[in-house]
């Protein structure tokens, strides 16, 4: 199998895997869009091998592989930034939820203390009129 065919097969597998993970709700759509885009670009580059050479020459890369390394590194930076943003959001939400739970526990303990300190009434007795 040639490198061109192997690249095309791998890109199609990534595309199919991404679609399946979204279908099973294991991957959210906003993350899947990036992987679908990457797999489509990989299929195009695998099916039109001269395209990578032309793009590399147009952008001033001496070797097409350098363009791939640059693109891959850039993609990883974008993914790292996106995950960092998501992590920051989740940390903020977790902190807010922890504060709400602490306030609810405090309120509950106050209610339990008030109930324990309140005089107990016999449920069979009639209320004072």
The mean pLDDT value of the chain amounts to 90
Q: Whole-angstrom Cα distance, residue 44 to residue 8?
A: 8
- Band of residue 110 on the pLDDT scale cut at 50, 70, 90: very high
pLDDT in tens, 39-68: 999 899 988 979 999 999 999 999 999 999
Among the listed residues 69, 82, 76, the one whose alpha carbon sits nearest the alpha carbon of residue 30: 82
For residue 77, what pLDDT is reported? Answer: 96
CB burial class (10 A; 0-12, 13-18, 19+) of residue 62? exposed
**Is residue 46 a contact partner of residue 8, using CB atoms and an 8 Å limit?**
yes
Q: Whole-angstrom Cα distance, residue 93 to residue 126?
A: 49
Whether the pLDDT of residue 128 is over 70: the answer is no
Whether the pLDDT of residue 125 is over 80: the answer is no
If one compares 128 and 36, the residue with the highest pLDDT of the two is: 36
CB neighbourhood size of 41 (10 A): 14
* Domain ranges, ordered by start, for the chain: 1-47, 65-117
CB contact set of 3 (below 8 Å; sequence gap of 6+): none
For residue 1, what pLDDT is reported? Answer: 75
Whether the pLDDT of residue 84 is over 60: the answer is yes
pLDDT in tens, 4-13: 888 889 989 9
- Band of residue 124 on the pLDDT scale cut at 50, 70, 90: low
Among the listed residues 20, 24, 19, 71, the one whose alpha carbon sits nearest the alpha carbon of residue 44: 71
Q: Is the dihedral of CA 7, 10, 16, 22 positive or negative?
A: negative
Whether the pLDDT of residue 73 is over 70: the answer is yes
């Amino acid at each position: 199998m040639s490198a061109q065919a192997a690249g095309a097969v791998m890109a199609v597998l990534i595309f199919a895997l991404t679609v399946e993970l979204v279908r099973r709700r294991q991957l959210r759509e906003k993350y899947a869009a990036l992987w679908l885009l990457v797999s489509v670009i990989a299929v195009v580059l695998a099916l039109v091998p001269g395209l990578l050479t032309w793009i590399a020459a147009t952008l001033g890369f001496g070797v097409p592989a350098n363009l791939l390394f640059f693109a891959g590194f850039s993609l990883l930076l974008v993914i790292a930034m996106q995950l960092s943003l998501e992590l920051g959001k989740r940390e903020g939400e977790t902190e807010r939820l922890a504060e709400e739970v602490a306030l609810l526990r405090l309120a509950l303990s106050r209610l339990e203390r008030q109930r324990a300190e309140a005089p107990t009434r016999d449920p069979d007795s009639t209320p004072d009129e």
